[in-house]
Structure formats: C-alpha cells, structure tokens
Structure 1
C-alpha cells in the first residue's frame, strides 16, 4: 500500500468540510501516513491525528453549535460578527482583538493530548514567522500552541511566541501545505477549502470585517493557484462551499452537507489511483 499524505487547507468555517472529506478515507479503510494542516486545517488535522473519528468530530461540533448551554446558542440569532467575540475571548491589546485562550483551552480539553509525539498519526502544522515572513513547520513539542499559532490570523488573534519566534496564521504563506509532505509519502491528497463564496447579486459595500476576511482569502487563493501550477498534489479536491463566510461556523450543517459531492469525488479518485 502506498504511503498517503493528507493536507488540510485554510478557509475558516468552510474548513469544517474537511471532516466530510476524511469520511471518504474512513469508508475506504485508508489511513494517511502523515497529515499537514494550515489554520482551520491544523485544528481538524489535530483531531484526526489524535485518533478522533469523524462521527466524534461531528458530535463535538454539534454540541458546540447547538448545545443549549453553549455560547453559540446564545448568539444564534445575532448576525453581526462582533457578537462572536465573546466566544473567542475578546481583548483590546497589542497584537490582536482576540486572545484566543478560550479556543486553545477548548482544544486542549477535547484533544487531551498536548504533545506531537502522542498523536496516532504524525502531524505537521504550518505557521508564519511574523518577522522573517517565512513558513514555519511545527511537528514537535507542544501541540496546542502550534495549532494556536496556525490559526492566529493577524489583527484578529494575538500572535504566538514559540521557539524564539513570533508566529501568526499559516494561511499567510501556505494555505494548502501538501508540498511539505512530499518527502514523507508516495501520494498526496490536498483538500482545498479556499474557493469563492460565489458572486454577489448587488454591488453593496460589505462590512469592514468581511472585506478584511475576503481580501485574506483572495490572497490565499492566489498562493494556491500559483503553487499548483509549479507542482501539484496527486489528488487536489477543491471544494466550493457557497454563501458561507469565513466566520459563519453556525452554518456547520450546511457546510457538511455541501461537502458531500466532494467526498464522492475523493473516493472515486482514490479508488482509481490505488486500484481498490
């Protein structure tokens, strides 16, 4: 059997689609040899590498989104992005609007693992060195701080100090990190969740936060397009989850359902490549 590397890309809430794509591997009884993740891809990748099945991931997600005692439940009917700040740990400080402690603590509590060496599947997490502007690949030591660095979107989340570096969101330099897996596997699968939200029907001016997020994702899409021109993964699944903005995790059910055709696509491509 070929060694398979799985790369889970950046893309905010649309990255929940990664869970459905992982289902394809489960149904084919395939386990990757190694995983790489950037931003939301690092979060989902950490759960997968820790041994969580997709049903378990969905259960945790359902409890977060729909649980009557959850912060998401309290803000369910509030559409303004600012209302989400309390969940994410708001602060007015140098570095970012959000400290990110609550999310990091949640990950630590759920994963119950805080060391790369204790993962069931090797994991590589991508972050960006703020000062050198270079990619940093984290695969040893403290797991939670690595994942936290990978989703530390500048201005929104505070940067993470680690290994004498100041680290921010990995999606700035490598939003689809399949290339860091080439030396560790025979076949690479890249799940790209950076696709466009779809065209607007009116030329209305969106809120400032939406412009910021959209600009960031335009940049990520350009990076991925240029990279795949030079060297492509063996399987590139590019999802197109429409009408879901980067922060709209409340649309989890819609995202998971919209990802199902791409799960079928991945299963077909894997079956053909591996002659299953």
Structure 2
C-alpha cells in the first residue's frame, strides 16, 4: 500500500447530528452547503424531526443545492398545503402522514431502505407508550422518516414492528450521541432551537400569555435535556444558528431563504474550529462506522 493511500485511510470520520425545530430546521441545508463548499465529507449522519428529514434526504444522495430546491418548492403555498394534508379525522392528530410519504417517495423512491443509503443514517424517535428512545437505522426509510417527524397530537403517529413511534425531540432533539457511538472521530451537532435566554424571541411569539408561558417552560426543559445529551456525547463542534425572532417553529415557510442563510453563516463562523478538530485527529482515526446506540444520561 502506498504511503498516500495509508494516510487517506486515516482521515478522521466526521459525524453530523441535525436537530429538530420545524421550519428552523431548514438551516441544516445552509450547514451542508458550507461543508460541501469546503470539501468536507460526512461519514455518518443522524437527525430528529426536521433534522431527520434533511439527514435522510442527504443520506439518499441529495446534495445541498438539491435540498435547497426542495425547500423552496415546499415554501410555495400550494405545495405546502398539499404536504400538510390537514385531516381532523381523529381526535389524536391533525395532519395525516400520507402526503409526506408521497412527497418523499417522489424524490427518493417509494421502496428505498436504509441499506440503499450512500452514508450511514440513524433517526431518533420515541416509543410513545413506553416513553423510550428508539433509534431507527434499518428497514424501510419512509416510515422511519414519518416516525421521527410525528409531533404528538399534530402529526399522525407511525406503527413500526408493533411500536407506536413519534417525533424523537422530546427525549433527544439533537442526537449527537448516535454519530458518536457510530464511530465518528469528530462530532458536529446542529441545534436550531431558539436560544432560551433570548427574551426578545419569546416576546415576538404572538401567543396568549398562558400558552406563551407553557411553550417557553417546555422549551427550557428541552434545552436542558439537549445540553446534557450533547455534553454526554462530547460534541466537538456545536453549531447554533441565529435564525431570528420572526421565524417560528411551526411557521415562517416564507422565510426559508433567511433560515438557510443563517445556517450558512453559523457554519462559516465555526469553520476554523472544525478544521482544527479534523486536523488534530488525522492520524488517530478509528475509521469504522457501527450501528448507533443512545447514550443514557
């Protein structure tokens, strides 16, 4: 084996975890755009909720420019209405998952599985009955994507192998521990949730006082869980885009370009640190990608 080939095999494995956050999750596209522009390849990827959707499309081979085109298509009112597919046929959810399945199938094919992906992917979900975190990384992809973005009470839940699975954000909104246990030498976590201390953001959310207080209290709890999870995973680089006060989690589809740009800026800001981390681990790579395992707090 030539010396150059031996060195290339020591390239550190980069794992990227994309967090949930509704419309704010389109910032992940900006992150991926900058990594691509800098020639930085991702060896394994994980995601929750919107982060799971972006991670899945990326793992299927959709590059950042293709993802941006998809996002802009979704932002159009007609496409958004079809995708949301509101059907209050039950009292336990508002939106059907059928339209999302069809939309996803148009892009990557209806029978795609985890085995078909170009890079290893792990999606975070929660078993709603057992209150347990469940990693999806094998089998059919589209049901898994539906599960990771199935916000309880909002989007129809998914049954996989007898388990009722919903959005994983309640227990692990930025699943950096997945890519760490998969074998990544350098772990990048992307948290698109609002900064919990940004009082102007919370004031800008036009909700009744009771709803606003409840929403922020839940956000505080989620932020504490995420912080503990990221600390446990020993994240090397954290990207937390400054998306802006006027972009809500469940709204702001007309501001997708602004959200993507925020992801780009935040990634350029951390680029020196990321390159430093990759350089420091160049000769010490484990370079073996394994199945993901949740880390217990």
Bin the TM-score by the shorter chain: 0.7 to 0.9
Q: 1:204 to 1:182 in 2, by over 3 A?
A: closer
1:260 aligned to 258, 264, 268, which one?
Answer: 264
Structure 2 matches for 1:90-239, cutoff 5 A?
Answer: 90-112=87-109, 114-183=112-181, 184-196=183-195, 198-200=198-200, 206-207=207-208, 214=216, 216-239=218-241
Q: Name which of structure 1's ranges 141-150 and 259-268 shifts more when overlaid on structure 2.
A: 259-268
Task: Tell me how far 1:139 sits from its aligned partner.
Answer: 0.5
Task: Tell me how far 1:230 sits from its aligned partner.
Answer: 4.0
Distance in 1, matches of 2:120 and 2:49, equals 17
Task: Tell me how far 1:25 sits from its aligned partner.
Answer: 1.7
- Aligned residue in 1 for 2:8: none
Distance in 2, matches of 1:86 and 1:212, equals 28
Distance in 2, matches of 1:71 and 1:110, equals 14
Q: Name which of structure 1's ranges 260-269 and 9-18 shifts more when overlaid on structure 2.
A: 260-269
Larger radius of gyration between Structure 1 and Structure 2? 2
Distance in 2, matches of 1:2 and 1:86, equals 38
Q: Is the 8 A contact 2:173 2:226 kept in 1?
A: yes
Task: Tell me how far 1:151 sits from its aligned partner.
Answer: 0.6
Structure 2 matches for 1:13-24, cutoff 5 A?
Answer: 13-24=23-34
The runs of at least 4 aligned residues of structure 1 exceeding 6 Å deviation read 208-212
Q: 1:262 to 1:50 in 2, by over 3 A?
A: same
Q: Is the 8 A contact 1:213 1:246 kept in 2?
A: no
Task: Tell me how far 1:196 sits from its aligned partner.
Answer: 3.0
2:54 aligned to 44, 48, 51, which one?
Answer: 44
Cα deviation code 1:31-60 (max 9, x no counterpart): 211111100010000111011111111112
Cα RMSD over matched residues? 2.5
Structure having the larger proportion of residues in strand: 1
TM-score (normalizing by structure 2): 0.80
TM-score (normalizing by structure 1): 0.86
Q: Is the 8 A contact 2:172 2:229 kept in 1?
A: no
Q: Gaps (5+ residues) in structure 1?
A: 73-83
Distance in 2, matches of 1:59 and 1:223, equals 33
Task: Tell me how many residue pairs correspond in the alignment.
Answer: 263
Q: 1:25 to 1:88 in 2, by over 3 A?
A: same
Q: 1:87 to 1:164 in 2, by over 3 A?
A: closer
Distance in 1, matches of 2:100 and 2:133, equals 23
Query: Does structure 1 residue 242 correspond to structure 2 residue 244?
Result: yes
Q: Name which of structure 1's ranges 7-16 and 218-227 shifts more when overlaid on structure 2.
A: 218-227
